[in-house]
Amino acid sequence: MSKQYETVIGLEVHVELATKTKIFCSCSTEFGGAPNTHTCPVCTGMPGSLPVLNKQVVEYALAVGLATNCQINQYCKFDRKNYFYPDNPQNYQISQLYLPICHDGWVEIETESGVTKKVGIHEIHMEEDAGKLVHDEWEDCSLVDYNRSGVPLIEIVSEPDMRSAEEVIAYLEKLRLIIQYLGASDCKLQEGSMRADVNLSVREVGAPKFGTRTEMKNLNSFKAIARAIEGERKRQIELIEEGKKVIQETRRWDDNKESSKAMRSKEDAQDYRYFPDPDLVPVIISDEWIARIKAQQPELRTEKIARYMEEFELPKYDAELLTSSKHMADTFEETVALCGKPKEASNWLMVEAMRLLKEHEMDADDMKFAPAHLAKLIEMVAAGSINRTVAKTVFEEIFAKDVDPEAYVEEKGLKVVNDEGALKSTIDAILAANPQSVADYKSGKEKAMGFLVGQTMRAMKGKADPAMVNKLVKEALTK
C-alpha cells in the first residue's frame, strides 16, 4: 500500500499599504511615475539622511492586526535587516524582527467544500519595500528604479496551519477582503500590492514532526499559487519516495513551465545580522490609540452580510455574493441609495454583472461604471419607459462603457412604444400576413397566438411592451 502524505503550508503575505506617502519620507507612493522621480535622499539611502516614521502606516497595521484578532505589542521597534542588493540602496531593509507590531492572531476560513477552520497568524510586522530592477531595457546592463523603495508594507506571517491549496486560497481571500474593507490596501496580486510566499513541507500522515520546508516566491495569481502548491507537493513526495532529502531552500515557480527551480539556499534570520535601527525611536502605542482605531473600524464583511439580510431583506446567498468584493458592495449600496430598490439592484449585479464579469474574465474590482447609471436604468424599467429586453442591452453598454442610460436610449430610439394606434396597425398587418396562424388560433390552437405576438415584437424592434402586445393581439384575434 502506498503511503499517505499530508501537506503543511504556511504563508508570508506582503501587502503594500494605501498611504499617500512612503514609510520614512514624504515621497509619493503613486504607481507608474517616470523612473526615479518619486525619490529623495532618504529613500535612495544617502548617507546622513534620517528616516521619520509615517503615522498612517502604524494605523493601518493596527487596523489589520485588530481585524485579525492579534495581540498588539504596545512597545514595538524597527530593526535593520542587512543584505546587499542593488535595489536596496541602504544595504539594509528597515523591518521588524524582535518586537513586531502585532502577534498571535487568527482568522476563520471557509473552504469551497464547506470546511471551516482557524488559521493562526504568527505576527504582522511593518517594513519598507525595495526598488525595482529592470533587466531588459539594454543588453549589457541592468537599471534600477527607486520609486518603490520605501513604499510601506506589512508582512503577515501565518502559522503552518493550512493543508491544501484550497485552504490557502480561502485564507488569502479572507485576508484580502478584510484589508480591502479596511481601506488599508487594494490587494491586487497582479499589480504586486499583495504578494504571497508559500512555505511548504510534506510528512507522512501521523508523523510527529514537520518535514523540511521550501519557500516559493514569484506567485502573482490565485491560480498560480494553487498550481505551485500542487507542483511542489508532488516534487517533495517524489524525493522522499526515492529516499532523497528535501533541501531547505527558496524556489522560484515558473507558472508557464509549471515547474519550480532552486533560487538560493534558505537563509536564517541570523544570516541577515539584524540589529535595532538606531535612527528610529520605539513606537509606543497607547490604550487610547488602540481604542480609537477600534472605534474607527469600518463595517467588515460578516457585519455587512447580516445588515443586508436585515435592512434590505436579501437572502443570505445574495448578501454573500454582493459582499464578496468591497467594490461590488460599494456599487450595490450606492445604487440602492439612489434608486431605493435593493432587490432590483441586487438582481442586476448578481445576474447580469456576474455573467459579464465571467464572460470577460474580469474581477469585480475592475467594474468601472457609475452606480448612478445603474440606478437610472432601474428607474427607467420601473417607470415602464424601457422593457426588460432592451434594459439588458443597455446594461451591457453601461457595464462596458459606462453610458448614461437615458441618453443612450434616446440616441438609439429604444423607448417603449406606448402608442396604441401604432401598435394596433402593426398587429393588423401581421394578422393579415399570417392568415394560417389566425385560422389555427380560431380552431383552438392557442400556441398560434405566441407566434403572432413574437412577429409583432419583432416588427416593433423589441420596443413594445410585451404585456400590451399580448392584450392587443388577443383583442384583434377575438374581434
- In the complex, the smallest distance separating the C-beta of residue 41 from Zn ion, rounded to whole angstroms, is 7
Q: Is 130 in the site for Zn ion (CB under 5 A)?
A: no
Mask for 459-478, x = binds Zn ion (CB under 5 A)? --------------------
Q: For helices 165-182 and 301-311, what crossing angle results, to 10°? A: 70
Biggest CA pair distance of the chain: 99
Complex with Zn ion: residue 26 or 221, whichever CB lies closer: 26
Q: How far apart are CA 181 and CA 297, in angstroms?
A: 9
Q: Is 430 in the site for Zn ion (CB under 5 A)?
A: no
Q: How far apart are CA 226 and CA 18, in angstroms?
A: 27
224 alpha carbon, distance to own chain's centre? 15
Site residues for Zn ion, 41-80, by CB under 5 A, read 42-43
Complex with Zn ion: residue 30 or 330, whichever CB lies closer: 30
Cβ contact 405:378 at 8 Å? no
Complex with Zn ion: residue 30 or 204, whichever CB lies closer: 30
Q: How many CA atoms lie within 13 A of 3 on its CB side?
A: 13
Cβ contact 106:68 at 8 Å? yes
Q: How far apart are CA 129 and CA 420, in angstroms?
A: 68
Q: Is 25 in the site for Zn ion (CB under 5 A)?
A: yes
DSSP code of residue 87: T
Q: For helices 435-442 and 420-433, what crossing angle results, to 10°? A: 90
CA nearest neighbour of 387 among 361, 348, 411, 417:
417
Burial class (CB in 10 A: 0-12, 13-18, 19+), 310: exposed
- In the complex, the smallest distance separating the C-beta of residue 240 from Zn ion, rounded to whole angstroms, is 48
Cβ contact 264:250 at 8 Å? yes
Indicate left, alpha or beta for 90 from its phi (over 0: left) and psi (-120 to 50: alpha): alpha
- Amino acid symbol at 262: A
Complex with Zn ion: residue 25 or 438, whichever CB lies closer: 25
User: Contact region for Zn ion (CB under 5 A) — 36-44, 50-58, 85-93, 408-416?
Assistant: 36-44
Cβ contact 161:150 at 8 Å? no
- In the complex, the smallest distance separating the C-beta of residue 381 from Zn ion, rounded to whole angstroms, is 52
Number of residues that bind Zn ion (CB under 5 A): 5
Complex with Zn ion: residue 18 or 157, whichever CB lies closer: 18
- In the complex, the smallest distance separating the C-beta of residue 31 from Zn ion, rounded to whole angstroms, is 15
- In the complex, the smallest distance separating the C-beta of residue 57 from Zn ion, rounded to whole angstroms, is 14
Instruction: Provide the 10 A C-beta neighbour count for residue 210.
Output: 13
CA nearest neighbour of 11 among 263, 225, 186, 271:
225
- In the complex, the smallest distance separating the C-beta of residue 28 from Zn ion, rounded to whole angstroms, is 9
User: Contact region for Zn ion (CB under 5 A) — 37-45, 123-131, 183-191, 341-349?
Assistant: 37-45
Complex with Zn ion: residue 37 or 265, whichever CB lies closer: 37
Q: Is 438 in the site for Zn ion (CB under 5 A)?
A: no
- In the complex, the smallest distance separating the C-beta of residue 22 from Zn ion, rounded to whole angstroms, is 5
Place of cell 501565518: 158
- In the complex, the smallest distance separating the C-beta of residue 82 from Zn ion, rounded to whole angstroms, is 21
**Which neighbouring-strand residues pair with 417?**
464
User: Contact region for Zn ion (CB under 5 A) — 35-43, 45-53, 242-250, 258-266?
Assistant: 35-43
Q: Is 40 in the site for Zn ion (CB under 5 A)?
A: yes
Which residue from 27, 67, 329, 457 is in contact with Zn ion, where contact means CB under 5 A?
Answer: 27
User: Contact region for Zn ion (CB under 5 A) — 10-18, 25-33, 216-224, 262-270?
Assistant: 25-33
- In the complex, the smallest distance separating the C-beta of residue 17 from Zn ion, rounded to whole angstroms, is 15
Complex with Zn ion: residue 25 or 224, whichever CB lies closer: 25
Structure-derived torsion over alpha carbons of residues 99, 155, 281, 279, reported in degrees to the nearest 10? 120
Complex with Zn ion: residue 54 or 387, whichever CB lies closer: 54
- In the complex, the smallest distance separating the C-beta of residue 36 from Zn ion, rounded to whole angstroms, is 11
Interface residue list for Zn ion (CB under 5 A):
25, 27, 40, 42-43
